[in-house]
Amino acid sequence: MVSVGDTAPNFTLMGTDGKLHSLADYHGHPVVLFFFPKCFTGTCERQISGHAQHIGDFDAFGAKVIGVSTDHTPSQSAFKKGCDPDNHVLLLSDFRHDVVKAYGIHVAEGQLPNQRATFVIDSHGVVRHAHVEAAPGEWAGIEPELAALRTL
């Protein structure tokens, strides 16, 4: 798994906005990169809506909030309408599972393709906070992410 102090693996993925996005696009700004296992599930909805509802807190740090799942973009777009109707959080599709593998959170067997995880990446591309939930139905909330941003 990617750890604190590591350079965050770069990637380029399609977003729900219909554009390709690379982590490198946000160099010079902190990034809150969160992974969720599956669209249309309760905890994933709370995770996305929690980030969306507190986007002002992330904006205060100049941080970009990006969510990634292995769902295809049309599924993400449909799901997002219910949990982020104002389009505050960028969702990216890792349908080939390349990014979840690069970050070390891929699950080879079972119903869910990846663990729920969050990485706070500083403006130089270095991971400053890394957290993987113990169980798929758990989410620590945004406070650990905001605490990490406060230390940058």
**Looking at the annotation, which residues are catalytic?**
44
| β-strand partners of 32 | 65, 120
Task: Give Rg (Cα) of the chain.
Answer: 14
End-to-end CA distance of the chain: 22
Q: Are the CB atoms for 68 and 33 separated by under 8 Å?
A: yes
Q: Are the CB atoms for 105 and 115 separated by under 8 Å?
A: yes
Residues 6 or more apart whose Cβ sits within 8 Å of residue 96: none
